[in-house]
Amino acid sequence: MIAITDLTFAHEKKRPILHGATGHAPAGVLTILAGQNGAGKSTLLSLLSGILAPDAGTVRVGPWTSPGDEDRIRRAVRLVLQDPDMQILGATVAEDLTLVGDPRDPRFLAVAKDAAARMGLLPHWETPVHTLSFGQRRKLCLAAALVHHPDEPPPLALLLDEPLSNLDYPGVLEMRRILRQNAAAGLTQIAAAHELDPLTDLASHVLVLSDGRIVLEGAPGAILPAVRPYGVRPPFGAWEE
């Protein structure tokens, strides 16, 4: 389980983006992190992944707590950014997926190729990344997030910042398949989103972020009808001008 308690954070001593946020994401399921643009969703994901440390309060991931255990949290929690081109470093699919280990190690290579196969990228193993479609580049980032040293456990959680943005309909269907597959494998997932329709039926838990706090939390059926006052359109809800 991932839990945050009285979490406060401000960039460079500016007005806090998060202040006193408290909530949790259950283990082994998909949690939607909902909120309008600018609500602080991306900042919260950076704190949950150990990239940032809170100014006050705590982030707890399994047995580890931030502040203090950011290095362990970064190894256990993987963040996938909204823009894949900000995260891809290798020149080919193979190079990008083997940056964190020794590709000459057959055990590590097997882990990397398994991650590629899970995302349908194994046929593109030697493909230059600049020739991949946007959806394929996003899947490459997801695959890279699953790669780990063979002597270490796989990641405990996957954090996704707007995973369905800029995808066409087939791409959305493919991403939904991946999210469902990860949940079936017991991977804890948190997906930040402001458009909820494509994710609602896949999620077991919802957090709503507004004005630096988690203002709603619970099962989708109870929470989603109440999101409109916080600048989020309910799934399948009518547009109001």
In a domain, 236, yes or no: no
The range of the structural domain enclosing residue 97 comes to: 2-229
**What's the number of domains the chain is made of?**
1
What's the CATH number where 143 sits?
Answer: 3.40.50.300
Q: Where are the alpha helices (DSSP H) in the chain?
A: 41-48, 70-76, 93-97, 106-118, 134-146, 169-184, 220-223
In a domain, 163, yes or no: yes
Q: Examine residue 170 and say whether the peptide bond preceding it is cis (omega within 30 degrees of 0).
A: no
Strands 2-9 and 56-61: antiparallel
pLDDT value of residue 15: 83
In a domain, 138, yes or no: yes
In a domain, 234, yes or no: no
pLDDT in tens, 179-195: 999 999 899 999 999 88
Q: Which pTM was predicted?
A: 0.91
pLDDT in tens, 175-234: 999 999 999 989 999 999 988 988 999 999 999 999 999 999 999 999 999 999 999 988
In a domain, 84, yes or no: yes
pLDDT in tens, 85-112: 999 999 999 999 999 999 999 999 999 9
Average pLDDT over residues 72-88: 94
In a domain, 23, yes or no: yes
In a domain, 80, yes or no: yes
pLDDT value of residue 195: 83
In a domain, 75, yes or no: yes
pLDDT value of residue 241: 44
